Structure 1
Amino acid sequence: MTSHLRRSVRAIILDEDNRILLCRFVSPHPAVPEQAKAVWAAPGGGIEPGEDRLTALRRELREETGLAISADPPHVWHQVVVAADRAPGFDGIINDYFLIRANHFQPCGELTDDQLAAEENLVAFRWWQLPEIAGYTGSELFSPRDLTTPLTALLTAGTPDQPVQLGL
């Protein structure tokens, strides 16, 4: 039996102080499991028919954050999650993450806040420092769940030669 997985791209956007930009997604959204209230995840989204990963990434970043990228960013992480409570209509999700270095900015994409909330269930942006993520004790989740480990490796060891395989 072949799994029907939703293919998505996400941007690990790091500013000059190594803060990461995350989006707060609320249910229903593919990143938010049924039992969760919200998930903080990297900006990005589904690859539309006819798009390659980088075209989808550029579109998603323009729509959600207003960030325009011209260079091809390095592919740093790959995640496959097969779970029934993800991506309605799919058996799970594949996320490919790309590293983007940018000066700190206030996200303001092509889609309005109301459109982002209605179409993407994206309700907030926040720049996080690694210690804030590592010490977080709230009820909301991160995607990937153990964001601290791959983010620490990325910040200390730099861009990997091959995308790191992530768990849930």
Structure 2
Amino acid sequence: MSELRIRPAARAIVLDPEDRVLLVRFQFPGVAPQEDRRDVWATPGGGIEDGETAEAAIRRELAEEAGLTDFELGPVVWTRLHIIPFIGGRWDGQREEYHLVRVRAFEPHPRLSWEQLNREYVFELRWWTLEELEEADTTCAPRRLPALLRDLLRDGPPAEPIDAGV
């Protein structure tokens, strides 16, 4: 059996002073032709390019997706390994590290055009309260994002990163 091609990635849990979290709505095409698209709400971030650090990747992704450039990068609080073929079969999965990022309230203004973002499956950005997220009938990545966020807001950053699961 060949080794899995795992893409390294970094994501940001962007929280404002009201503890709202900034999420991105990804719209992925169905795996099979008869399948509908899949909408998934996730934290901003993405793949770490060759020669790039996780911090540089987060800074690039937050600027591209949200127009956010002025922030202090916090600790890694979650990790996640997700095995699923994506990007046209180039990768078999993704290993993510989630950094905490506390910011002043701001209105997201992506640096990339919506046409560019759509090509990366990004179709919407918005702030969510924990209550909205817990009540929403939506798919999140990681799937238990509301519970993870509730614990993070209640307990603060963990001493060691938590496995966020799929």
- Counterpart selection for 2:165 from 154, 164, 167: 167
Task: For 2:162, give the aligned amino acid.
Answer: V
Alignment partner of 1:161: what SS? Answer: coil
| 1:56-75 equivalences in 2 (<5 Å) | 56-69=57-70, 71-75=72-76
The runs of at least 4 aligned residues of structure 1 exceeding 6 Å deviation read none
The answer to whether the aligner puts 1:96 opposite 2:94 as a matched pair is no
1:28 is displaced (CA, Å) by: 4.0
The answer to whether the aligner puts 1:141 opposite 2:142 as a matched pair is no
Contact map agreement 1:58 1:69 (CA 8 A) in 2? no
Q: Which residue of 2 aligns with 1:151?
A: 149
Task: For 2:45, give the aligned amino acid.
Answer: G
1:101 is displaced (CA, Å) by: 0.7
The answer to whether the aligner puts 1:43 opposite 2:41 as a matched pair is no
Q: Normalising by structure 1, what TM-score?
A: 0.87
Alignment partner of 2:118: what SS? Answer: helix
Q: Distance in 1 between matches of 2:65 and 2:108?
A: 7
Alignment partner of 1:159: what SS? Answer: coil
Contact map agreement 2:28 2:121 (CA 8 A) in 1? yes
Cα–Cα, structure 1 residues 134 and 53, in superposed 2: closer, same or farther, change >3 Å? same
1:109 is displaced (CA, Å) by: 2.3
Q: Distance in 2 between matches of 1:133 and 1:103?
A: 20
Q: Distance in 1 between matches of 2:141 and 2:10?
A: 13
Q: Distance in 2 between matches of 1:16 and 1:149?
A: 19
1:94 is displaced (CA, Å) by: 0.9
Q: Which residue of 1 aligns with 2:114?
A: 113
Cα–Cα, structure 1 residues 112 and 38, in superposed 2: closer, same or farther, change >3 Å? same
Contact map agreement 2:73 2:100 (CA 8 A) in 1? no
Number of residues of Structure 1 aligned to a counterpart in Structure 2 = 160
Query: Structure 1, unaligned stretches of length 5 or more?
Result: none
Cα–Cα, structure 1 residues 146 and 11, in superposed 2: closer, same or farther, change >3 Å? same
> Considering only aligned residues, what root-mean-square deviation do their CA atoms show, in Å?
1.8
Q: Which residue of 1 aligns with 2:84?
A: 83
Q: Distance in 1 between matches of 2:11 and 2:78?
A: 9
Q: Distance in 1 between matches of 2:100 and 2:149?
A: 11
Q: Distance in 2 between matches of 1:165 and 1:35?
A: 29
Task: For 1:141, give the aligned amino acid.
Answer: T
Q: Distance in 1 between matches of 2:134 and 2:71?
A: 32
1:23-78 per-position Cα deviation (integer Å, ceiling 9, x unaligned): 0111149xxxx765210110111111110111111111111111114533211110
Q: Distance in 2 between matches of 1:125 and 1:166?
A: 22
Contact map agreement 1:26 1:122 (CA 8 A) in 2? yes
Alignment partner of 1:97: what SS? Answer: strand
Cα–Cα, structure 1 residues 78 and 69, in superposed 2: closer, same or farther, change >3 Å? farther
Q: Distance in 2 between matches of 1:28 and 1:98?
A: 28
